[in-house]
Chain A
Amino acid sequence: MKTPQIKHHLTDELLMAYSAGSLPEAFSLVVATHVSLCDECRARLGSFDTLGGAMLEECGSAELDAGALDATMARILEGAPQVAPKEKPRKSRGVFPGPLQDYVGGDVEAVKWKPVGMGVRQAILPTSHDASVRLLYIPAGCAVPDHGHRGTELTLVLQGAFMDEDDRFARGDVEVADEDLEHTPIADIGEDCICLAATDAPLRFRGIVPRLAQPFLKI
């Protein structure tokens, strides 16, 4: 699926933390999915990995156990690596890029949606519990409940578009929101919108009904 010009990118802080390996899994999934769609962020991520290599060279060394080299050679001669690095996902032709398909078990048609009211559906994806990530399906023209944020929230558009007070986000665009942002995103009228949204804190909804619904949303 062709991705038009992406206007909203990942921050340096997120790319650096992903490169360093310190992001929660839920955020890493959003980063990996965005980078699969965005050559600019892929190049920036490459720079942060290069910086990691330079840090590895610069940041000192720790003495190894006596016989470490022999032990490692013995490990090698035993055969296959005990810990093989994961193969990278291959290029997807669907709506969902490869890393997201790994978590869903397929493309859009494989998602097990649950209705959460007002036509909005969601599917929570299994990750470590330090943050959570879900797919959101918002019918064209519908509002996502008005909410502010605690912590950090990343929202990556995969299909359709949404708009808030300031801007429009289409496929590949990622919105990085922190506690300062209060907004009311609305799905664009043209097409139903599918987003991948990660948060490291429960959302606090401002309307009474969404607040009652919050325990059921498990977010």
Chain B
Amino acid sequence: MNGTAGSEELSRKGPIRSDDWAAHVSRIRDDKDQAAFAELFRHFAPRVKAFLMKSGADAALAEECAQEVMATLWHKAHMFDPARATVATWIFTIARNRKIDALRKQNRPEPEDLPWGPAAEPDQEDVLTLQQETQALGQALAELPPKQRELIERAYFGDLSHSEIAAETGLPLGTIKSRIRLALERLRHEMK
């Protein structure tokens, strides 16, 4: 991390970069730092709420769930492993699970955890690589042709199967599938 520092905010342990979300989570884990939490909250809670509303929640339920997701982040800060996921990905998975529970009212079977479990002290190089790859992926996503990007968004947020998307957009299922396949091919080399 160098050079591109964003705005900084003073907190008890001194400044952290305003977009270094992993550092915010460590601060919450180690110091119960409410200022760090407030910054994370201002960035992510409105996104989580938008995600839940796009998935079919009304505004009140989405608000309730977004607050729960952020509270879970506080309580589970010790579970976050920056070598395995970025903060955005981690929050996405918490919000996704909340969606399945609160909106779809189903269980979500989870895969077994890896036998070696999270490393005690994550390798800084792994953390950096993951952040760079994720940034490149975000960039690639932003540069997708609008038609492809919209279908990926619908698949993630609209809670529709490919055939339901076909029914709603009037596009043939084959077209939907090949657009999604093309989009994934473009994204794939960023998703190692």
Chain A positions within 8 Å of B, measured between CB atoms, are: 12-13, 16-17, 19-22, 24-25, 28-29, 31-33, 35-36, 42, 45-65, 68-69, 71-73, 75-76, 80-86, 88-92, 97-99, 102-103, 127-128
Contacts and interface: CB of A to CB of B under 8 A. Distances in A.
Interface stretch (B4-12, B63-71, B120-128): B63-71
A85 B111 contact: no
B150 to A, nearest CB: 11
Interface string B20-43: 000000000000001001100110
Given A19-B96, A42-B111, A59-B47, A47 B191 contact: yes
A94 to B, nearest CB: 12
Interface of B: 34, 37-38, 41-42, 44-51, 53-54, 59, 62-63, 66-68, 70-72, 74-76, 84-86, 88-101, 104-115, 133-134, 137-138, 141-142, 152-153, 155-157, 159-162, 177, 180-181, 184, 187-188, 191-192
B138 A81 contact: no
A17 B156 CA distance: 7
B138 A88 contact: no
A4 B159 CA distance: 35
A88 B98 CA distance: 15
Nearest to A54: B138
Contacts of B34: 73
A16 B46 CA distance: 23
19 contacts: A12-B181, A21-B100, A21-B108, A21-B159, A48-B191, A52-B92, A54-B137, A59-B47, A59-B51, A62-B53, A63-B49, A68-B67, A75-B67, A75-B71, A76-B74, A81-B75, A85-B94, A127-B107, A128-B104
Summarize A's interface: helix, strand, loop or mixed.
helix
B159 A20 contact: yes
B63 to A, nearest CB: 5
A52 to B, nearest CB: 4
Given A80-B75, A103-B109, A128-B106, A58 B97 contact: no
Given A58-B138, A59-B157, A72-B67, A25 B41 contact: no
Given A22-B160, A52-B93, A73-B34, A82 B106 contact: no
Given A56-B47, A84-B72, A35 B89 contact: no
B88 A22 contact: no
A55 B141 contact: yes
B168 to A, nearest CB: 14
A141 B98 CA distance: 44
Nearest to A61: B46
A13 B177 CA distance: 9
Contacts of B137: 50-51, 54
B134 A99 contact: no
